Structures are given as structure tokens and as C-alpha cells.
Structure 1
Amino acid sequence: MTRPSLAAQLLRRRTIGMLVAEAGTSSEGPGTLGRHLSMIQLAMISVGATLGTGILALLAEQIPHAGPGIWMSVLLAAIPALLSALSYAEMAGAVPVSGSSYSYAYVTLGEGVAWVVGWCLVLEYGVSVAAVAAGAGQYVDETLAIFDLSLPTAIASDPSAEGGVFNLSAFLLVILAMVLLLRGVREAAWINTVLVLLKIVVLLFFAAVAFTAFRIDHFSGMFDTFFPGVTGAAAVLFFSYIGFDAASTAGEEARNPTRDLPRAILLGMGLVTVIYVVVAVAAIGAREASWFRENGLVTVLAEVTGQPWFGVVFSLGALIAFASIVLTVLYGQTRILLTMSRDGLVPRVLGRISPRTQTPVVGTLIVGIVIAVAAGVVPLGELANATSIGTFAAFTVVNIAVIVLRYRRPELPRTYRVPLFPVIPVLGALTCLALMSQLSASTWIAFACWMVVGAVIYLGYGRRHSRVGALAEAKYRAALVEA
């Protein structure tokens, strides 16, 4: 059989009908994913993948730069994320499969862009899980130190730290998440919901304690450092919102995807934004901005209450936050690869679903073990920073996909429509491109190396095994007409 030219194949699109039919979404049975997730559980996946690392690691660090206007930085950072979230909500309702932005790119812009987005998501999700797990290892060390305990240096950190050999805490956290996902998405979703509720309680507990020391004079002059303080901090804090798209990877496991996915994405974004603003206002109300040059959020609790054990509560809350992020992002990674395997762009074994648990068991095992080992032994360095470019690229494509699909398929049923079309998706795409341009040269180099690897894999495997690439020209044209 003669395949299309490379240029022609890169432009070939999947139709929504193809994706839905191949996913087996019309009915459940052996080899299909089970529809177990409610709207609340979907929203908790978005919140679980988003809420935690940013607010715990970045907020206190940025307060000295933004001053008392840090709460405005949090709101400004939410704007570009919200613009893209609106586009994700429309696409999730219109294309109810597990591929997230990869699938949205495939049905609108073709196989070439879809592969680039899918490869970006492999980087974003995989490295993010490993990096977050490694960060959790640091909180394990800090929590043990409170009780005058510690792990041996050799198993407390990866080889990038002096004396480190293997980050056992990071490894075990990923393995635990993998085991939960292997048991089935229903159990994993309930556990994630509990973890998310616990970390929300911890953050609100911090705010409640901090508000007991609230002083309005700490907010004086909050507009004095708007440029560049507040705006500069907003650019950094944007990364606190990355992860809201995780619910879009659950398109085949939602009970009512076209209705619930848009709601879950927007509810998750709204909840995260409100919590971030409340924590920021509470922090600056309790202590002046300059105080945070040498102190963090945990110290606020200890000083306000005079009780060191409050720091233990906060540290445990941080561990819960990290665990929830690892669980939800690892879930998203396995579902992205499952969808790519169905299209033939990665080995089919990654999409093999167990009839008993209705999960991609082999893919989850492979991905979980690889990421666990990476979290334990690999200093991620610039590759972790390169996930930012991958995230922005995916967001940009989704904003463009909304525009393309609106004009190409105006009659397509949509349970949610982006308001002020096409202004919102255009602004969303431009904002992401502007943020990408601010990243360092070394980050771009690391990302370029990753994309070269992706190009080699596509040319060596994906192009030859692509299902849409295998269609004869006449059959491909007929499929587009039927769609």
C-alpha cells in the first residue's frame, strides 16, 4: 500500500466520529474504559493537578517582589490560565475522548501538530510527576526533622545532591500512585477527592490562623510596585495554575462528558483562584512583605500561634498536596498515551485495557515504573523547565483549535461555547505565546532537544503505524465527508 507523502500525512486529520467510535464511548464492554466519574470527581482531578506546588513553593518567594499587592499578582496570573480554560471547556464538551489537547489538535490541525502536542504532553506530564515527587521528598525530610528523625543521605536525594544516590520517598510516592490507578479509576478518583479536600482544609486552616493576626496597614502602598513588582510576580505565579486541563484527559471515563467536562474545568479553575487569593491576602495581612524575604508560610503559623506543631500540620498538608498532584497527573499521562496508541503513533501495548479493572494496565505499569525511577535518580534540571514551553504550546493549540472547529463545524453540538468568540481564544493564544517568549535560552535548547527526539520517533515509528496515514486517499476523503 502506498502511503501519502510526509507533508500530506502531517496534514491528515482524525474526525470526531472516528475518535468516539474507536474509543468505544457508545457502550461499555471488554477493552473499554468505564464511565465512573461524576462532575465533582472530574473537578477534583483538575484541582488535584493544580492546587499545591505553586502556592506552597512560589507565593512566599514572590511576596517580597510584589509587596502588599501580591493578591493582585495572583489574580493577574489567573487571567491567561482562565482564557485557555474557557477554550478547553468548549473543546472538552465537543470532543469527549481521553486525548485532551492532543485529540483537539488531531481533529482540527492534523497529525503533525497533534504529534507535537502529544509529545509536549508526554514531557509536561511525565517530568512534572517526577519533579513533584522529588519535591515531596524534601517535605518528607522536613517533616521527619521536626521529630528529630532523618533518612540516610544516600536514599534522601538523587545523585545531584552531595551524598545522594536514590530519592526513595519520590520513588515510593509514584509507585503508590501507580498502584492506586491499577486498581481502577473509581477508587483512585475517590482517594483523590479525599486528598484534595484535605489540602483545601489545610490551606483554609492556614488562612484562618493568619487572619487572627491581620493588620490592614500591611496593605498600604500596594499599588506602588505594580510595575514591575506585581506584574513580574504574576508571570511567575502563572505556573501555579498549570494542571487545570487534567480533567480533559478523562473524557471517556466521565458519566456525562459533554455536560460535565466543561463544568469541571471551569469549577476547578474558579476554586483554585479563590483559594489562592484568600491565602495571599491572609499571608500579607499577617506579616509585612519584607518579612517574607527570610520566612515562608509555615513560619507564619508558628509565629502567630506560638505552637511549632502547626508547622507539622502544614508540612503534612504539603505532602498531601504533592501526593494528589502525582496521582492526577500520572492518570492524565496514561490516558494521553492510551489515545496516541489507538491512533498508532505509539505502541499499541500502551492502550491495552484490562476488562476487569477497565484501566490501561500495561501502559500504567510502564509509565509508572519509568517515572518512578526517573524521580529517584535523574536530576531533571532544564528538562523540568522545558515543561513550561510544552504547556504553553498545548494551551496555544487548544485556543487555535476552538477557532478552527467553530468555522469548520459550525453545526457541531456544543454544550459550552467560549464567550466573546473569537476574542477570548485569540487572546488566550497570544498570551501563551508571549509567556513562552520570556523563557530562558537554556530552556528553549532543552525543549528543542526533546522535540528532535520526538521527530525521530515519529519518523521511525509513528508515521509507519499511523492509522489515518494507512487510509487510502479515497477512503480518507470519504471519512471526512461523512464527518
Structure 2
Amino acid sequence: MGNLFKRMNRKEDPSVYEEKDAKMKRTLTTKDFLALGVGTIVSTAIFTLPGIVAANYAGPAVTISFLLAAIVAGLVALSYAEMASAMPFAGSAYSWINVIFGEFWGWVAGWALLAEYFIAVSFVAAGLSANFRGLIEPLGLKLPTYLSNPVSAKGGLVDIITVIVILIVMFLITRGDEQTSTIENILVILKVLAVIVFVVVGATSIHFANYVPFIPAHTVNADGTSFGGFSGVYAGVSVIFLSYIGFDSIAANSAEAKDPQKTMPRGIIGSLAIAVTLFVAVSLVLVGMFKYTNYANNAEPVGWALRQAGHPFIASGVQIVAVVGMFTALIGMMMAGSRLIYSFGRDGMLPKFLGKVDKKRNLPINAIITMTAISVVIGAFLTFTFLSQLISAGTLIAFMFVSVGIYPLRKREGKDINMPGFKEPFYPVMPALGFIASLLVFWGLDSEAKLYALVWFVIGMVIYFVYGMNHHKRNQ
């Protein structure tokens, strides 16, 4: 038993990761990471969640929910920035925790993040499919039910648009980081412009009476969830938090960063700051245009609000850009998820072929193909609504690990770990606040989300003890 615990807690030598990841080509700049981060964070959620959370949980105080969620994400982002600057390895939290706490804990953090990437890719692709079908139907182009819904839905066989979208993204990211980054940068600019257009045009239709009362009185929804008061705002934070988790996709690509000591902190903190500004602006304008009750069960509140305010052409333009812009989130999640799978294969925690890097393109092609295949199965053939909150649950677990990991990291900086170009301010208070804040958001998730997180964790433990522990390269 003592030997078992010794192996579970054995820490990886950071120089080993530096050597292994040297095969990856360092081409990504601060501009690329800002585009990657903003593209991943400012995605489907910004066009849907402000209205949904306002109607179901917080009313006009949805803006407060977004700000509180941003504060939590910001606290964790500071820890992420220091970790990524000190250890620019592929795999983000998985690799860092492996170095800081040991093999078992690294696997737990990485396995939690893997749930985020699989579900997030499938979720965004399916959302893109639904929006795309909504745009072409007025033109008389309607896909049959069996090609529009997964096999588990009534009359469905496969969501063919989801399959095509994921395959297109795979094609793009296997062309190489430089080409992918160029496309990503262009799409992000278009998407941000679409958000700005909505804010500017929507602001002309604001009725200040819609903000009163800003925090509605507390009541209980039919499903038992809270609406209004502090409880409603808090419930909104837990739902909204998945909007901000995209900055992990930046850290996952650390091994491909130019001058990572500088580019990683700038990319992580900068992209989050831009995203927060956009989210708050959209939510404030949206609830000002129409009373929050109008957004109940409304899957496209931004487009709906513009059309109701007399701007149908602008509404269509914003939605078209939104659909195209969803590719940026898919690119970011697919890149990050494939780098995490590559990291597992690199260490022998999953089959070694996943850790191979293509010599011509310096990319983990096998990991990218695996990420694509699993995402297609989840998004095109399975209903995954009941798993959607795992995006937040899994990520929050990894966030807690990274926050507390700053303490042992500080003791090793400048010794066996490089001195980072960025250090989290107000140490040792800030990392503790990041951990506590993440724990509070996790606690606010519904019981089903926690249960599914536990099931995913048990599956991960089985894989670790049956395969990973026995095949890890240190144990052979």
C-alpha cells in the first residue's frame, strides 16, 4: 500500500516535459492567444445566456451575475497566468499538477478538463448546427428530421451539420498553427464587431423602466431553483460561469507559444478582460431593451430583441456572424482538447500513439483525430443536455487544483522550475481566494451536475488504476 501511494504522488521532472514538448513548434504570439481566448470565451453563450439567466434566475441583475462570475474567473486566471509562465507545457493543468502534486492528482485535474473539452466541442457544434438551420429554413432549405437530430431524439438519426462542422474544424487545425491562427484572428474580429453592433444599436432602444427593480424579490421557480434576490444572482453565477472557462484553452497550447513567459499571462488575462467587458455590455443592453420576462425559453434573445426593436436586417447580420464566429470557439476547444490528449499519450497514461507528433507539421495529429472522433459521437449521435453542466463542474475541479498549486510552485521557482515572467499579486491571499471562489461556484451547481461529475471521476479512476498507472513511462 505504501508503494502504491508513493507511485500515485510521484512528481514529474519539469525538464522531462520541456524535452518532450520541444517537438512542438513555437509559433503563437500574444495576438494569437488573445484571439484564441476571446474566440473561445465569447461564443454561443454571449448570444444566449444573458437572456436565459435574466428570465430564469436574476432579472436585470444578470449583469451582477456576470460580474461575480468574472471575478471568480479572474482570480483563477491570475494563478493560471503564473503557472503557464513558469511551466509552458502542453496539457495545462494536467501537466502542471503532475509536476507540483504528483501523477495521480495530475490525472484527476486532466480528466476533469477532458470532460469540459469533449462536451464543449459537441455543445458548440450542435448550437452552430441549430442556428445555421434556423438561418436557411426561411430560404426554403430544410433538412429532414433524421439528418437534423441525434439518433436518441425522436425521428433522429444523425445531426449531419454537427458532423460536417467538427470535420471542417479538424481540417483547419491539421493545416498548422499559423494558418489556423490567421483564420481564428479574422473570425474573432468579425464576432467582436457583431457584438459591438448589437450593443450600439440595442442601446438606442433601451427603456430604463426595464431595469426596475434591478434585483427582483426572491421567489422559487417551478423546478425548485431560485429567482431574484441574492439566491437568484448566485444561481445565475453558477450557470454563467461556463462562459468564462475558455482561457484554459490558451494554457493548453503553452508548448506552442513564442516567449511564453510574456505571451501566456498577456493572453490569459487580456482575453478574459475583453470577454468580461463584452458580456456585461450585452447583458446590460439586452435587459434594458425589453423586460427580462420576454426572454424566457428564448434560444436567440439577441436576434429576437433586435427584430422586435425594428432592426431585422441587423439581427440577421449579427446572427450570421455569430454562426460563423462559433468556429472560433470550436477551433480553441479542439486545439486545447487535442493537446491534453497528446499529453496523456506523451506520459503513457493513455495509449502512446496519442503522444506522437507528426514530423512534417509538428502537430499531434493522432490526438486531433481522436478528439474529433469522440466529439462527433457525442455531438451527432447522443443527447448531451444532461451533461452540459459537466463543462463547469470538471473545469472548477481543475481550477481549484491550480489555485492551491501556487503555494508549492513558489517554493520551486528559480530552482527546478523556471522563474515566471508573471507572478500572482497579493500572495498568499489571492490563490486562497481563487480556491474558495471556485468551490462556492461548484457548490452552486445543481445536484445532477455534481452526480455526473462523480460518475466521470469514477470512470477516470478505473482507467488510471487499470491502465495509466501501469503504463506511465516512469513506471516501466
Give the structure-1-normalised TM-score.
Answer: 0.91
Counterpart Cα distance in 2 of 1:466 and 1:16: 16
User: CA separation of 1:410/1:433 partners in 2, compared to 1, >3 Å: closer, same or farther?
Assistant: farther
Q: Which residue of 1 aligns with 2:282?
A: 279
Distance apart, 1:405 and its partner CA: 0.8
**Residue in structure 1 matched with residue 438 of structure 2 by the alignment:** 432
Shift of 1:354: 1.5
Residue in 2 that maps onto 1:391: 395
Does the CA contact (< 8 Å) of 2:341 and 2:371 recur in 1? no
In the alignment, what sits opposite 1:42?
33
Percent of residue pairs bearing the same amino acid type: 28
SS at structure 1 position matched to 2:174 = helix
Which moved further from structure 2: 315-324 or 78-87? 315-324
Distance 1:126 1:236 in 2: 19
Q: Tell me which amino acid in the other structure corresponds to 1:145.
A: E
1:63 and 2:54 equivalent?
yes
Post-superposition CA distance 1:130-178 (Å, at most 9, x none): 1221121111221112323211111011123321110001111110110
The reply on whether 1:444 has 2:436 as its aligned counterpart is no
Cα contact 1:4–1:469 (8 A) shared by 2: no
Distance 1:383 1:293, change over 3 A: closer
Aligned pairs (5 A) from 1:93-242: 93-223=85-215, 225=217, 226-242=229-245
Q: Which residue of 1 aligns with 2:265?
A: 262
- Structure-2 separation of matches of 1:68 and 1:385: 23
Query: Which amino acid is 2:419 matched to?
Result: P
- Cα–Cα, structure 1 residues 447 and 230, in superposed 2: closer, same or farther, change >3 Å? closer
Query: Is contact 2:58-2:216 (8 Å) kept?
Result: no
* Structure 2: distance between partners of 1:464 and 1:428: 34
Cα pair 1:37 1:253 within 8 Å, conserved:
yes
Alpha-carbon separation, structure 2, partners of 1:370 and 1:232: 31
Question: Greater shift after overlay, 368-377 or 226-235?
Answer: 226-235
State the superposition RMSD in angstroms.
Answer: 1.9
Shift of 1:13: 0.3
Give the match for residue 461 of structure 2.
Answer: 455
Is residue 85 of structure 2 the alignment partner of residue 80 of structure 1? no
Distance in 2 separating the partners of 1:370 and 1:73? 33
TM-score normalized with structure 2 length: 0.92
1:353-387 Cα deviation digits (max 9, x unpaired):
12221111122122212322331111124333323
Q: Is the 8 A contact 2:91 2:340 kept in 1?
A: yes
| 1:28 alignment counterpart | none
Query: What is the CA distance between 1:418 and its match in structure 2?
Result: 0.8
**2:35 is aligned with what amino acid?**
M
Q: Who is 1:21 aligned against?
A: 19
Once the two structures are superposed, the pairs formed by residues 352-391 of structure 1 within 5 Å of their partners are 352-391=356-395
Q: Is the 8 A contact 1:196 1:324 kept in 2?
A: yes
SS of residue paired to 1:222: coil
Tell me, in whole angstroms, the C-alpha distance in 2 between the residues paired with 1:301 and 1:176.
30
Q: CA 1:321–1:343 in structure 2 vs 1: closer, same or farther (change >3 Å)?
A: same
Alpha carbons 1:54, 1:241 under 8 Å: kept = no
Indicate if the aligned counterparts of 2:25 and 2:362 stay in contact, CA closer than 8 A.
yes
Equivalence for 2:303: 298
- Structure 2 CA distance, aligned partners of 1:307 and 1:149? 24
2:327 matched residue in structure 1: 323
Match of 1:480 in 2: none
Q: Distance in 2 between matches of 1:180 and 1:406?
A: 38
Aligned equivalents of 1:445 and 1:70: distance in 2? 27
CA distance in 1, matches of 2:325, 2:427: 35
Between 126-135 and 442-451, report the one with greater CA deviation. 442-451
Distance 1:230 1:194 in 2: 35
Mapped pair 1:52 → 2:25? no
Structure 1 residues 370, 290: closer, same or farther in 2, change over 3 A?
closer
Residue aligning to 1:246? 249
Give the AA of the match of 2:264. Answer: L
Distance in 2 (alpha carbons) for counterparts of 1:128 and 1:67? 26
Change (3 A) 1:4 1:469: farther
1:276-326 deviations in Å (ceiling 9; x for gaps) = 11112222232233333365221111122x243333223212312322111
Larger CA deviation: 268-277 vs 114-123:
114-123
Quick check: 65-74 or 101-110, which moved more? 65-74
**Counterparts in 2 of 1:442 and 1:224: CA distance versus 1, 3 Å:** closer
Amino acid of the structure 1 residue aligned with 2:307: A
Q: Does 1:422 align with 2:414?
A: no
How many Å apart are 1:22 and its aligned residue? 2.3
Q: Is the 8 A contact 2:50 2:286 kept in 1?
A: no
Deviation at 1:408, TM superposition (A): 4.2
CA separation in 1, counterparts of 2:425 and 2:212? 36
Quote the residue 1:474 is aligned against. Answer: none
Secondary structure, in 3 states, of the residue corresponding to 1:159? coil
- Shift of residue 222, structure 1, vs aligned partner: 1.8
Q: How many residues end up aligned between the 2 structures?
A: 460
Q: Secondary structure of the equivalent of 2:473?
A: coil
Structure 1 residues 386, 231: closer, same or farther in 2, change over 3 A? closer
Cα separation, 2, equivalents of 1:451 and 1:235: 20
Distance 1:69 1:434, change over 3 A: closer
Whether the 8 Å CA contact 1:13–1:468 is kept in 2: the answer is no
Query: Does the 8 Å CA contact 2:346/2:356 hold for their aligned counterparts?
Result: no
- What residue identity is the alignment partner of 1:301? L
Quote the residue 1:29 is aligned against.
none
- In structure 1, list runs of 5 or more residues that go unmatched: 25-31, 471-483
Deviation of residue 393 (structure 1)? Answer: 0.6
Distance change >3 Å, CA 162–CA 401, structure 1 → 2: same
Which residues of structure 2 form unaligned runs of 5+?
218-228
Residues 307 and 438 of structure 1: CA distance in aligned 2, closer, same or farther (over 3 Å): closer
Q: Which amino acid aligns with 1:249?
A: A
